[in-house]
Chain A
Amino acid sequence: MLRKLGIEIVKREKIHPLFQILAVLVGLLLAFLISGWIMSMTGNDPIESFKVMFRGAFGEKRKILNTLMRSTPLMLAALATVIAFKAEVWSIGQEGQIFAGAMMSFAVYRLIDTAGLSRPVLLTIVILAGVLGGALLGGLAGWLRTRFNVDIIISTVLLNYIVTTMLLFLLYDHKYWMGANNYYPRSDLILKDYWFPILGDTGRLHMGFIIAVVLAIVVYWLIKRTPYGYDLRALGANPTATQFKGINVKRLILITMLVSGGLAGLAGSIELFGVHHNVNMDLSPGYGYTGIIVALLVELNPILVIFAAIFFGGLINGSVTMITSTGVHTSITYVIQAMVLISVLVCRAMANYRIRRIQHVE
Chain B
Amino acid sequence: MLNDLLQMAVILNILAATIRMATPLLLGAMGELVAERSGVMNMGLEGMMLFGVFIVWLVTYLGGSTITGIGFALIVGGLLGLLLSVLVIYLRVDQTVSGLAINLLAVGVGEYIPRMVNVQNEIVQVDILANVNIPILSEIPIVGEILFQQNPFTYLAFISVPIVAWFLKKTKYGLAIRSAGENPKAVDTRGLNVNRIRTLSTIFAGMMAGLGGAFLMSVTSRYLPEMTAGRGWLAIIVVIAGNWKPSRMVIATLLFAFLSALQVTLTTFEIAIPYEFFLIMPYVLALVALAASRVRSAQPAKLGVPYSRE
Tell whether A335 pairs with B91 under 8 Å between CB atoms, given A148-B291, A157-B230, A289-B100: no
Specify which of A157, A158, A169, A293 is in contact with B274 (CB 8 Å cutoff).
A169
Instruction: Please name all residues of chain B whose beta carbon is closer than 8 Å to the beta carbon of A157 when the two chains form the complex.
Output: 230, 233
- B224 interface residue (CB < 8 Å to A): no
**Residues of chain A in range 294-310 having any CB-CB distance to chain B below 8 Å:** 296
Known: A144-B291, A154-B233. A289 touches B104 (CB 8 A): yes
List chain B residues, Cβ under 8 A from A211: none
Which A residues form the contact surface with B (CB < 8 A)? 38, 42-44, 90, 92, 144, 147-151, 153-155, 157-159, 161-162, 165-166, 168-169, 172, 286, 289, 292-293, 296, 327-329, 331-339, 341-342, 345-346, 349-350
Stretch of B68-76, B112-120, B142-150, B198-206 at the chain-chain interface? B112-120
Smallest Cβ-Cβ distance to A286: which chain B residue: B107
The answer to whether B100 and A341 have CB atoms under 8 Å apart is yes
A327 partner residues in chain B, CB cutoff 8 A: 119
- Neighbouring B residues of A92 by C-beta, 8 Å: 96, 100
Q: Which residues of A contact B97 (CB under 8 A)?
A: 296, 341, 345
With known contacts A150-B287, A154-B237, A154-B290, A335–B101 Cβ distance under 8 A: no
Q: Which of A44, A155, A346 contacts B290 (CB 8 A)?
A: A155
Cβ-defined contact, B294 with A149, below 8 A: yes
Contacting pair B279 A165 (CB below 8 A)? yes
B276 nearest CB neighbor, chain A only: A169
Note all chain A residues with C-beta closer than 8 A to B236. Answer: 154
**Residues of chain B contacted by A161 (CB below 8 angstroms):** 229-230, 280, 283
Contact A346 B87 (CB under 8 A): yes
Chain B residue at minimum C-beta to C-beta distance from A347: B91
Q: Does B93 contact A (CB under 8 A)?
A: yes
**Interface check B222, CB cutoff 8 A:** no
Please tell me the number of chain B residues within 8 Å of chain A, measured between CB atoms.
Answer: 44
Mark interface residues in B78-114 (1 if CB within 8 Å of A CB, else 0): 0000010011000111101110110011011101110
Can you name 22 A-B pairs with beta carbons within 8 Å?
A: A144-B291, A148-B290, A148-B291, A153-B96, A154-B233, A154-B240, A161-B280, A165-B280, A286-B107, A289-B104, A328-B116, A329-B111, A331-B112, A334-B107, A335-B109, A338-B104, A339-B105, A341-B101, A341-B104, A342-B101, A345-B91, A349-B87
CB distance from A38 to the nearest CB of B (A): 7
Instruction: Chain A residues near B86: list those with CB within 8 A.
Output: 346
Residues of chain B lying within 8 A (CB to CB) of residue A334: 104, 107-108, 111-112
Shortest 8 CB-CB contacts between residues of A and residues of B: A334-B108, A349-B91, A169-B276, A335-B108, A148-B291, A42-B116, A338-B105, A338-B104
Extra contacts besides A144-B290, A159-B283, A293-B104 (12): CB < 8 Å: A38-B109, A38-B113, A92-B100, A151-B290, A155-B290, A162-B283, A289-B100, A329-B111, A329-B112, A338-B107, A342-B87, A349-B93
